[in-house]
Amino acid sequence: MFAFIIRRLLQSLIVMLAVAFISFSLFNFVGDPVNNMVGQEATAEQREALRVQLGLNDPFPIQFARFIGNAVQGDFGVSYRLSRPVSDVIATRLPATLELVFVAAVLALVIGLPLGVYTGLHRHGFGSKVLLTLSLIGISLPTFLIGIMLILIFAVWLGWLPSFGRGDTVQIGWWSTNFLTVAGWKSIIMPAVTLCLFQLTLIMRLVRAEMMEVLRTDYIKFARARGLSNRAVHFGHALKNTMVPVITITGLQIGSLIAFAIITETVFQWPGMGLLFLQAIQFADIPVMAAYLCLVAFIFVVINLMVDLLYYAVDPRLRVERSGGGH
Amino acid sequence: MAIQSDTKPLLEVKNLRIEFPTRRGVLTAVDDISFDIMPGEVLGVVGESGAGKSLTGAAVIGLLEPPGRIAAGSISLEGQRIDNLPYEKMRQIRGRKIGAIFQDPLTSLNPLYSIGRQLVETIQTHTDMSESQARRRAVELLADVGIPAPERRVDQYPHQFSGGMRQRVVIALALAVNPKLVIADEPTTALDVSIQAQILDLIRKLCKERNVGVIIITHDMGVIAETADRVAVMYAGRIAEIGPVRDVIKHAKHPYTHGLMGSIPTIGHDTEKLTQIDGSMPRLTDIPRGCAFNPRCPKAFDKCFVDRPELIQVEQTRAACWLYEKEAVHG
């Protein structure tokens, strides 16, 4: 178990290095940040001086080594666009995105899981058919369209919810939260719903497929033959056996929620990292872009590690056998 | 049959018919079968794949899978009809009064729960026992089915047990709350030959001790010979012959049973060649008129192709064969 974690951590380290390398080398080709930083009238000497100051003239390996060396200390340099340390910029944006992703993930799980169980149990029921049809819509409609439709209905026509921004936030240390004010909750509803819709339908369909698979197994038949209640059979025995694939997919989806958040944040002008990243691309703000990609990769790695550990919690077959088992 | 008139049968199945509605019409998988079981008696049900023996077992325990349905007849346990009970009532009988042992011990147990938890869960579903009482009972049960070091094994997971040991756990689960009847559907088919006899002995011993009636469903005549008191031979959804094991094996009446016995090699007898029954069992869609066995029967005559034979008492057994019509004693 412990050796397993160490091994996974080492693998994660390699992944992080690879991501850092790829993102850093890619961004050397997205444009010259100096053009955006100095005015039209800047002389060639001024430009050159700035390049030297930013270290842009150094050979690639040296630039990369400097980037890694600073990054492990949490220093991703200074944003070219905002002239502030990238770590500060990200620290102000990170809570917004994480809270959005958190609410979306919770919604997707809390709604998707029961709906999946329901449609898996009542395969031929009318309710299941309606839900499956609706889920097709959820899977096929693009995020920005759903977002804009929600804004049209709930912000423009009904005027119930704000159409953009985070509303009122409360500062706790460096973390700003939506969860402590009514306006904050009102603001997060629409972006979170928009963001979760795809994941929700995915989880629902996955749980449904897994449930149908598991319900056919012998141990479910045997559980029924033992006279266990439907509740125990469906939730105790069947649902738990669907959990390994569901945990895998959900874990990966939390990562892609952060990625999808770019679009949602743009539609709702949500001041999170996705929006920051888009602005950084337009400005060729390399330090911000590199830091963003490294952070997302880091979150992915952490989630994957947690998923692996959850397998151990769910499935006893994966646990290390100390007491020399069967014979 | 030697039925003591003062003992009531534990299970009575009367004129049971199981049907499957399909797009091309209704298929009759089990057609008008009747049998009963005394307390503590072991009835073997033998037949080829598709003869309807597993469906009969599923019908008794109330777990026929839709679209299969009981179309006619009745099933009574201790004089009470159980074939038409609502789901919840039948659920309380399953496990409590009727236990089940399935074919594959490797897949019968939920891999994610310890066997102790699965036993405790079964016990607590049907009794008022507390967690610790149920756990003590679980350990006792594991000891009863011959699992060494039950106090330690009770917390282990199915994958830590071998196939034979898992089938013992399944037997413990089937007997957990002292049912009156156990349905064992191919209980040894998935096991090593060396383990088979142990498991059969165990089932027989435990059920005799506790006066539990058993239906052993199998395609293996050897299993029947070793375990059962009486045997019902099924063919194409009907009972071809039913009677005490010794009589059916030694003096088979129905030509199908006769052929079946002829196909079993015996040790110590120099049999030149095993007999085989030509052809195969008809599909459910084209069961012939009259006796279902008539296309393969070496002794078939005119009447066999027209009328379906009822079970006719011949000596100790009853056979569904027109050959014995003259000998039938009516009344």
As a whole number, the mean pLDDT across chain B is 86
Cβ–Cβ below 8 Å for A227 and B159 = no
Residue A151 belongs to a domain: yes
Q: Say whether A225 and B110 touch across the interface (CB within 8 A).
A: no
Of B111, B165, B170, the CB nearest to A326: B165
Residue A192 located in a structural domain = yes
Mean pLDDT of A72-85: 82
- The pLDDT value given to residue B3: 47
Cβ-based contacts under 8 A for chains A and B = 91
pLDDT at residue A30 in the model: 66
The answer, yes or no, to whether residue B152 has pLDDT greater than 80, is yes
Q: Which fold has domain B11-97+179-266+273-329?
A: Rossmann fold (3.40.50)
- Subunit contact B94:A223, Cβ cutoff 8 A: no
In a domain, A55, yes or no: no
The shortest CB-CB distance from B121 to any of A225, A228, A240 is to A228
Select the residue from A121, A123, A219 to test the B interface by mutation, using most B Cβ atoms within 10 A. Answer: A219
- What secondary structure letter does DSSP report for B327? T
Q: Which of A213, A215, A222, A233 to mutate to test the interface with B (most CBs of B within 10 A)?
A: A222
> Does the structure show a pLDDT above 80 at B66?
yes
Residues of A in contact with B107 (CB under 8 A): 217-219
Taking contacts as CB-CB distances below 8 angstroms, the residues of chain B near A228 are: 91, 95, 121-122, 125
| Of the partner residues A219, A241, A317, the one whose CB lies closest to the CB of residue B108 | A219
| pLDDT at position A324 | 41
Look at B100 and A237 and tell me if their CB atoms are within 8 Å. no
pLDDT reported for residue B97: 92
Q: B105: number of CA atoms within 13 Å, CB side?
A: 28
Closest residue in chain B to residue A311, using alpha carbons only: B112
pLDDT at B139 over 90: yes
User: How confident is the model at residue A150, as a pLDDT?
Assistant: 86
Residue B207 corresponds to which amino acid?
Answer: C
Decide which of B70 and A169 is more confident.
B70
| The one-letter amino acid at B175 | L
Task: State the smallest CA–CA distance between residue A5 and chain B in angstroms.
Answer: 22
- Looking at the predicted structure, is the pLDDT value of residue A265 above 60? yes
- Whether B324 has a pLDDT exceeding 60, the answer reads yes
Classified as helix, coil or strand, B36 is: strand
Least confident of A180-194, A257-271, B166-180, B258-272: B258-272
Query: With 60 as the cut, is the pLDDT of residue A321 above it?
Result: no
Nearest residue of B to residue A237 by CA position?
Answer: B110
Q: In this complex, do A232 and B121 lie within 8 Å of one another by their Cβ atoms?
A: yes
| pLDDT at site A5 | 79
- Which band of pLDDT confidence, cut at 50, 70 and 90, is reported for residue B51? confident
Residue ranges of domains in chain B: 11-97+179-266+273-329
pLDDT of res. A316: 81
Question: For residues B62-97, b (16+ Cβ closer than 10 Å) or e, as one string?
Answer: bbbeeebebbebebbbeeeebbebeeeebbebbbbb
Closest among B238, B222, B235, B219 to B279, alpha carbons compared: B235
pLDDT band for position B268 (cuts 50, 70, 90): low
What is residue B198's three-state secondary structure?
helix
pLDDT at A13: 87
| Predicted local confidence at residue A323, as pLDDT | 42
Using omega within 30 degrees of 0 as the cis cutoff, is the peptide bond preceding B295 cis?
A: no
**pLDDT tens digits, one per residue of A97-132:** 888 899 999 999 999 999 999 998 888 888 888 888
Query: Does the pLDDT at position B2 exceed 50?
Result: no
Report residue A79's pLDDT band, with 50, 70 and 90 as the boundaries.
Answer: confident
pLDDT score of A326 more than 80 = no
State the Rg of chain B over Cα.
Answer: 21
Per-residue pLDDT band for A322 (boundaries 50, 70, 90) equals very low
Q: Has residue B181 got a pLDDT over 60?
A: yes
**Residue that is written with structure tokens 């009238």 in the block:** A41
Within-domain flag for A40 = no
Residue A99 lies in domain: 87-274+295-318
Give the model's confidence band at B126: pLDDT under 50 very low, under 70 low, under 90 confident, else very high: very high
**A320 pLDDT above the threshold of 60:** no
pLDDT confidence band for A311 (50 / 70 / 90): confident
Residue to substitute from B55, B106, B112, B161, interface A, most A β-carbons within 10 A: B112
Kindly state whether residue A164 falls inside one of the protein's structural domains. Answer: yes
**For A120-178, what is each residue's pLDDT tens digit?**
888 888 888 888 888 888 788 888 888 888 888 888 888 788 877 777 777 777 777 87
Identify from B65, B110, B122, B217 which residue to disrupt to test chain A contact, counting A C-beta atoms within 10 A and taking the largest count: B110
Distance CA A264, CA A150 (A): 12
Angle between helices B115-126 and B131-144 (to 10 degrees): 120
Q: Which residues in chain B are closer than 8 Å to A326, comparing Cβ atoms?
A: 159-162, 165
The domain total for chain A is: 1
Taking an 8 Å cut-off on Cβ atoms, the answer to whether B126 and A227 are in contact is yes
Query: A222–B176: do the CB atoms touch at under 8 Å?
Result: no
Looking at beta carbons, which residues of chain A come within 8 Å of B94?
A: 224-227
With CA atoms as reference, the chain B residue closest to A225 would be: B94
The β-bridge relationship of strands B25-37 and B213-218 is unpaired
- Calculate what percentage of chain A has a pLDDT beyond 90: 9
CB A251 within 8 A of CB A304: yes
Cβ–Cβ gap A222/B112 under 8 Å? no
Q: Is residue A225 part of a domain?
A: yes
Interface of A with B in 222-261 (CB under 8 A): 222-230, 232, 236-237, 240-241
- The pLDDT > 70 percentage for chain A reads 94
**Domain CATH for A231:** 1.10.3720.10
What is the mean pLDDT of the segment spanning B65-94?
90
Give the closest of A226, A241, A315 to B122, CB-based: A226
pLDDT at B230 over 90: yes
Percent of chain B exceeding pLDDT 90 equals 40
